[in-house]
Structure formats: C-alpha cells, structure tokens
Chains A and B, each alone.
Chain A
Amino acid sequence: MSELPKARIATASLAGCFGCHMAILDIDERLIELMKLVDVDRSPLTDKKRFTERCDIGIIEGGCCNEENVHVLQDFRRNCDVLIALGQCAIMGGLPAMRNAIMHSDAPLRECLDEAYITGRYIRNTTHNVPNDPALPLLLDEVYPCSQVVEIDYQIPGCAPSGDIIFDTLTKLLTGKFRGFEPEMIKFD
C-alpha cells in the first residue's frame, strides 16, 4: 500500500448545512487509514481557499443557490479529475430546493425572501428590507442540483450520508474497486 502515491482530494460546501462535512468526520478512527491514501487540498477541513494543484477527487456538498456556488463548482470541475456529489442537496437540491416549488407562487424566490425578512410573523427586521449588500452573492432563480451545472461522476446518497458509505466509496474509488453501492447502504435520509 505504501508505494501507492497519495491521491489529492478537495472538498467544498455549497448550498448545504455542512452536515455532509460533519459526516466525513463520522468516518471516525478510519480517517487515519484514509489519510494514508490521500492528501487534502482545498477544503474547509484544511482552510485552504484555493487549489494549490490539480486534484484527483473533488467532493461537493450542497447544490447551487447563488452565483458563488456556481463559480466554486465550476472551479472544482476544472481542477478535479473525478467529481463526487455528496448528499441529497448536491444530488437533487435537498432542503434548499424547497424554495423552488413549495411556495405556491409565481415568484417563489420573491415570496421566500419576503417571508424570511419582511412578512414572517417572527421577524424582527428594523430595516424592512431584504439584505442587498453588494458583497452578498446573487441568488439564483432556483436551487440547482450539481449535476445540472457541471458533469458529476459519482453521487453518494444520504442526508447526511453515513460515515460508512463515504469511507467505503472513497477507499474503493481510490483503489479502483468501486462497482456501485450495496442496496442496503443506499439511504436518502
């Protein structure tokens, strides 16, 4: 095993809750085993904000709800050989995608922002404005799954995925043994 060159991986959290990154930590002591196989490049786990070199695997948590998410995702696609969507938000939009249809409105984003910042019963927003600072990334009309923005090579399902399925999939991919998931491991919740 030791003669294998280490693979480089990168991770990012887009429109997610960081739960999938927490789930990466659910790998527990096997992280030591995993770290023998990989070096971590750009990731919230290393606090590196930019790619230092090309990576073998990019892991994306969350879908795209704003333009910054799209830029990060495109940057990952450019810099990673294999891109993995981790968890339901990255796969199908997840909880943030609730704003796409469930608001029962012709302008779901407007209605969502109005309720969140202006009309909601439990809001104390003295400005009575939706935040519009130029530093805030522009929201997209809808929340998009990663696969609708760039090509995604693998998807690891779950909300959040178990530490087991993440560890299993990553180690199998790194050793060229990945042949799909055991049906019992697949969970969408």
Chain B
Amino acid sequence: MSGTKKETGFAFTIDGVEVTAYAGQTIMEAADEAGVYIPRLCDHQGLRHQGSCRVCTVKAGGRSVAACTQPAAPGQSVENETPHLNKMRRDLVEMLFHEGNHLCPICEASGNCELQAMAYRLDMTETTRFPYLEPCRALDASHPDIALDTNRCISCGRCIRASQDVDGKGVFGYVGRGIHRRVAVNGEDLADTDAEVTDHAISSEVCPVGCIIRKRVGFVTPIGEREFDKGLIGHEIEEKRK
C-alpha cells in the first residue's frame, strides 16, 4: 500500500471535486483520502473489498459501479452525491431493513449501528413502499461470551472476511443462494467453533449491525451518547476536507 503511494498519482473528479488517486486504488479509497464520503455498508477499513451491498454505487463514466471495488481511472468523472444515487441507496437500505427484523428501539446496537446511521444520513423517513418480510431467524447464545441475533444480520460478510483474513480462522461463511444467502457459523452453533471474544471478527467495529453481540457489555454506553448520536456516519471522512 505505502509502496504504491510513492508513484505519482493521477487526477479524477467526484461530483466536480478533483481527487488524486494512485495506481491500484479503488474510487472509494481515493475518495476517503480526499475527504469525500461515499456511503458503504459491506466495506470496512482493513478488510478485503467485496462489493455486495451496492450502497456505495456511484456513476463512473455514466455507468453504475461499486465504488469499493471499481479502480479509479485517470480523468474519470464520478457522480456520488446526486438525488438519483441517494434515492437508490435509500431504497437499498430500506430493503435491508425490511429483509430482516430490525427493531431499533429494542436493539443493543442502536446508535452504534451503521445500517441505522445510513438510514439517518439518507433520510429514510418517508412512508415505506415495501412489505416487511419478517423472517423467522435464529438466536444463537451457545457461546459463553458471544451471542448471535441473526434477525439483524444484513449478510454484509464483514465477519466472514475478518475471521478468514485477520483471525485466520473461518468461523463464519456464506450458505445458500440468491435471497436465501445467509451468513452462517462453521459448525453446529457458535460454541462449536473456535470463535473467541478477542477475535477481530467479533469486535464491535466489524459487525455493522447488532447481530454479533458480546455478552455482559450491553448498554455500557447509554442510548443517546453513542457513535452516531455524535455525528452523521461519514463525518470523520468529510472533516478531512476543508
């Protein structure tokens, strides 16, 4: 990563703002460094890019691409904060809410949840046009230190990549196809795996929602004083730009 930075960069624009990128960088990596926030859910710093949630969809050269996987190209003109793209992102986020059981008022992650924070940022306040699927999903509290409430899982796969690439374990994996594709544990239940509470995959920053829960630390920070009560998601990236 640091090796590539020594090369001379090239310029492209995001919403008319000139951004410098280096060979091999994705649109999102270059945008982050330049202080331009592109909304994302399945992408997380330090993890392999996956490009599955499509919340980071931008228009590059008139085509819709996932900013987290699309390499930046010299002279490219990228659209990010447009009403059309934000509406599409809002619909995607809303469908994620409807696909699982996301009851913010009872969720321990409320206020720290990236799905919820994305809904705030994208102004998900209008009457819904989508049905609630209300699936019956399992709660796995078998592990002494960790619980999984899969009602809240958005199948972003961040825990899968963190477990495989950072922890070198493979506690989580995808099963099923299409709308039935889910994140599952690699065993009978979580207690049957080698998951530990100290794993990166279990850390609060990896699961964007309240699915992976560390036991006995709930509500340490009260509602109202949490991460996204202090600022909109992405504000720390936007603050880099003056």
Name A residues whose Cβ lies closer than 8 Å to a Cβ of B.
85, 88, 92-95, 97-98, 100-105, 142, 145, 147, 151-153, 155, 157, 159, 180-181, 183-184, 186-189
Contacts and interface: CB of A to CB of B under 8 A. Distances in A.
B104 A101 contact: no
Contacts of A101: 101, 134-137, 151
B86 to A, nearest CB: 11
Contacts of B127: 85, 147, 151-153, 155
B128 A183 contact: no
A104 B134 CA distance: 11
Contacts of B224: 189
A98 B106 contact: yes
14 contacts: A88-B105, A92-B97, A93-B132, A95-B103, A98-B103, A98-B106, A101-B134, A101-B151, A102-B136, A152-B127, A155-B125, A181-B125, A188-B119, A188-B120
A142 B229 CA distance: 32
User: Which of B97, B105, B232 neighbours the largest number of chain A CB atoms within 10 Å of its CB?
Assistant: B105
Interface in B210-228: 223-224
Contacts of A184: 232
B232 A183 contact: yes
A189 B223 CA distance: 8
Contacts of B138: 104
B125 A186 contact: yes
Nearest to A147: B127
A102 B104 CA distance: 14
Contacts of A142: 134
Candidate in A92, A105, A153 with the most chain B CB atoms within 10 angstroms: A92
B116 interface: yes
B104 A88 contact: yes
Interface residues of B, number: 30
A48 B137 CA distance: 43
Contacts of A187: 120, 229
B105 A180 contact: no
Given A155-B126, A181-B125, A188 B116 contact: yes
Contacts of A157: 125
A102 B151 contact: yes
- Mostly helix, strand, loop or mixed at chain B's interface? loop
A186 B123 CA distance: 8
Interface in B100-137: 101, 103-107, 110-111, 116, 119-121, 123-128, 132, 134-137
Nearest to B116: A188
Contacts of B126: 155
B101 to A, nearest CB: 5
A152 B105 CA distance: 21
Contacts of B136: 101-105
Contacts of B128: 92, 145, 147
A181 B119 contact: no
Interface string B62-104: 0000000000000000000000000000000000010001011
A57 to B, nearest CB: 16
B105 A95 contact: yes
B192 to A, nearest CB: 20
B110 A188 contact: yes
Nearest to B137: A101
Contacts of A105: 136
B105 A188 contact: yes
A92 B127 CA distance: 9
Contacts of B229: 187
Nearest to B230: A184
